[in-house]
Structure 1
Amino acid sequence: MLELVNLSNYSMDNNLIKNDAKELGKFLKQNNLDGIEMMLWEPWDSNLHPEKFIYGVHLRFWSDWLDFWLGNSQGLKLSFPNTDAIKSCFGGLTRNDWLALYKENISAAIKMNPKYLVFHVSQARKEELYHWKFHYKDNMVIEAIIELVNDLSDVIPEGVTLLFENLWWPGLTLLDRNIVEKLMAGIQHKNKGIMLDTGHLMNTNQNLVTQEDGVEYILQVLNNLGAESRYIKGIHLHYSLSGEYVKKIRQENITRDYSIGNIMEHVLKIDEHLPFTTQTVQKIVEKIQPQYLVHEFMQTSTLDWQTKVRTQQRALRKF
């Protein structure tokens, strides 16, 4: 099992390593980490983020895309004020425009020679992020994802594993084994699997109160997946206990400002990315035996980052 941390090349994350590859190497060594799962915001600088540290790359993510993919003009009007906004989001007005944008991101990722790529599987319109009354169901999202990914498969090398990440919005929530089976059966790329995000899975249950509740819930979901759990190759490890916030926000009937800043603030209140402190989290790792374990946090400083990593590592001390 390789033990990794998430990192992007956004300026705030570059500051964590003082814009210096030696600092990145020192951080990894000091914290007994094998490397990083990278996300690109800017073109890759191999002098800052050397290939030897990069094991995975998290691809770009569009949370509200299915109306565009299906050509649902009425649905698009709910999220995009005009055609310029659509072009800005998807690189144009056609499927091929968006596919070109996606392929550009994948090609940039492949240059780093990663072992795996991470692909989010979900769909939610802006207002649905708050009230959770979703227009599209899991099955329709999965059917479109299969179509989308198969259209992208020509730029994904056979030797690179494509890992699909669960979220709490419609798509791959991991709550339905038939959906997992359908996704894995439909994707043409042979080297494929799932990146289990433990915090995202906890976000599907607003009744969780403690970390121990979360661990038991995750184990229950894994048991319900049966043989389909074999597809889980990696874990984004962190916890989230935001149920009370979600219950409250779902009941509010107010006019909202759906700016990117407000949406991100809201999503991060749901998806807390906190380090496990309970040793019961070992049960998840023991059950899955993942190839990759990623300590995935939202860090505010190098010290905060190190503290969170070491906190979670103490909970996993057997490993």
Structure 2
Amino acid sequence: MLQLVNLSNYASDLELIHNNPVCLEAFLNHHHLDGLEMMFCDSWNPRVHKKQWIQGVHLRFWPNWLDFWRGDREELLRQFGSDAQIEACYGALTREGWLNVYRENLRIAKMAGAKYVVFHVSQTRIPELFHWQFSFSDRQIIEATIEVINELAQSIPGDMELLFENLWWPGLTLKDKELTALLLDSVKHPKAGIMLDIGHLMNTNPELKDQDDGVDYVLKIVDNLEEYKHYIHGVHLHHSLSGNYIKQSRGTAMPQEDILAAAMSHVLRIDEHLPFSSPCVKKIINSVQPTYVVHEFMYTSINDWSEKIRIQQQALQYKER
């Protein structure tokens, strides 16, 4: 089992490590970590994010992409207002152009030596984040994801694991074994699997009271996958107990000003990305036996990041090698 942390090459994350590989290496060594799950928001600089540290790459994602994939120009213009804004969002105005954005992301992942890539399976328009009345079903989103992945299949190396990540919005929630099976059995890639995001799965149940309650719920959902449980090759490890906020905010109207900032704030209040402190979390790791455990947090400083890793590793009773 490899213990990793999430990191991007976005400006704020570069500032966090002072754009310095020595700082990053010291951080990884201090926490006895095996490397990184990177997100490349820009071109890869191997001087800073060294190849030997990169185990996986989280591919870029668009929370709202299915209207674009379906070519629903009327709906896109209603949402974005102009072709220029559509292109600014997706990096293209056509399916093929958008697929090329993914292909470039995959090319960088291959260059960086990633053993796996992560693909979000979810869809929601911005107003739906607030009122929870969704335009597409889990099945529609999964079927469209299969189409996208099969278009990209030739760009994914055969020895690279393709791990689908669950979310709490419509798509792959892992609560439906048959839909999970449909996705895994239909994509044209020999090493398809699941990146189980613990906090995201906890967000599907707003009645959870504490970490131990959340662990029991996660284990129940995982066991219900039956044979598809064995497709879980990685875990994004963090917890989220935002049920009270979900229940209080569900059904609210989308703000009319600073929409993107309000949406981001709203999502972050749901998806807390907090460290597990209860040793009960070991039950998940023991049940799933993942190859990759990613301590996935949001952090405000290097000290904040370090403390969250320390808390969670203590919960796992991590021992020095």
TM bin, normalised by shorter chain, reads over 0.9
Q: CA deviation at 1:75?
A: 3.2
Distance 1:255 1:295, change over 3 A: closer
Distance in 2 between residues matched to 1:144 and 1:4, nearest whole Å? 30
Q: CA deviation at 1:78?
A: 4.4
Aligned to 1:89: 89
Task: Show the 5 A alignment for 1:26-105.
Answer: 26-105=26-105
Aligned to 2:276: 276
Distance in 2 between residues matched to 1:209 and 1:77, nearest whole Å? 42
Aligned to 1:295: 295
Distance in 1 between residues matched to 2:149 and 2:259, nearest whole Å? 28
Tell me if 1:188 matches 2:188: yes
Aligned to 1:21: 21
TM-score by length of 1: 0.97
Distance in 1 between residues matched to 2:255 and 2:33, nearest whole Å? 45
Distance in 2 between residues matched to 1:84 and 1:253, nearest whole Å? 27
TM-score by length of 2: 0.96
Paired letter, 2:242: S
Cα deviation 1:95-141 (Å, max 9, x = unaligned): 11111111112112221011000100000011011111111001010
Percentage of identical aligned residues:
50
Q: Do 2:6 and 2:38's aligned partners in 1 also have CA atoms closer than 8 Å?
A: yes
Paired letter, 2:301: S
Distance 1:152 1:233, change over 3 A: same
Distance 1:27 1:318, change over 3 A: closer
Q: Do 1:9 and 1:40's aligned partners in 2 also have CA atoms closer than 8 Å?
A: yes
Aligned to 1:307: 307
5+ residue gaps, structure 2 = none
Q: Do 1:58 and 1:119's aligned partners in 2 also have CA atoms closer than 8 Å?
A: yes
Superposition CA RMSD, Å: 1.3
Q: CA deviation at 1:74?
A: 4.0
Distance in 1 between residues matched to 2:103 and 2:219, nearest whole Å? 35
5+ residue gaps, structure 1 = none
Q: CA deviation at 1:258?
A: 6.0
Paired letter, 2:57: V
Q: CA deviation at 1:255?
A: 4.3
Aligned to 2:209: 209
Distance in 2 between residues matched to 1:261 and 1:42, nearest whole Å? 22
Write out the 4+ residue segments of structure 1 that deviate beyond 4 Å after TM superposition.
Answer: none
Query: What SS does the corresponding residue of 2:124 show, helix, strand or coil?
Result: coil
Distance in 1 between residues matched to 2:14 and 2:84, nearest whole Å? 31
Distance in 2 between residues matched to 1:11 and 1:238, nearest whole Å? 24
Cα deviation 1:216-272 (Å, max 9, x = unaligned): 110110111111111100000000111111111113246433632222111111111
Distance in 1 between residues matched to 2:192 and 2:77, nearest whole Å? 35
Q: Do 2:7 and 2:39's aligned partners in 1 also have CA atoms closer than 8 Å?
A: yes
Aligned to 2:227: 227
Q: Do 1:126 and 1:258's aligned partners in 2 also have CA atoms closer than 8 Å?
A: no
Aligned residues: 319
Distance 1:123 1:308, change over 3 A: same
Residue range with higher mean Cα deviation, 12-21 or 204-213: 12-21
